[in-house]
Amino acid sequence: MRLAEALDRLRNAGVPDGFVVADGGLGAGECLGVEPVPGGWSIYYSERGGKSPLETHATEGAACRALLRHADRMMRANGKPGVAWSSG
């Protein structure tokens, strides 16, 4: 899976704009982020102007699945519909 496909899945699942940033930035508030880092990809949580690392993956596909999984968990915790994240 490529990042563009993961972002499409998030949009199609009704994840609010700004809930996920894909440019390595901090976003406008509390959000999930994904960015390429040396040796792979980083998934992080951003709040109060800082990044808290969640996971690092060697491949874009693994990072995208992790991003979808974290978004699914967070959406469900807030009483919202989940996000399909399985690659199968």
The span from the CA of 69 to the CA of 66, in Å, is 5
In a domain, 84, yes or no: no
In a domain, 85, yes or no: no
Range of the domain at 58: 3-77
> 64 or 83, which is more confident?
64
**Number of separate domains in the chain:** 1
Residue 88 pLDDT: 44
The DSSP secondary structure of 46-83, one letter per residue, reads: EETTEEEEEEEESSHHHHHHHHHHHHHHHHHHTT----
In a domain, 83, yes or no: no
- Assess whether pLDDT exceeds 50 at residue 14: yes
Confidence class of residue 85 from pLDDT cuts 50, 70 and 90? Answer: low
Confidence class of residue 78 from pLDDT cuts 50, 70 and 90? Answer: confident
In a domain, 86, yes or no: no
In a domain, 9, yes or no: yes
- Assess whether pLDDT exceeds 70 at residue 25: yes
In a domain, 14, yes or no: yes
In a domain, 56, yes or no: yes
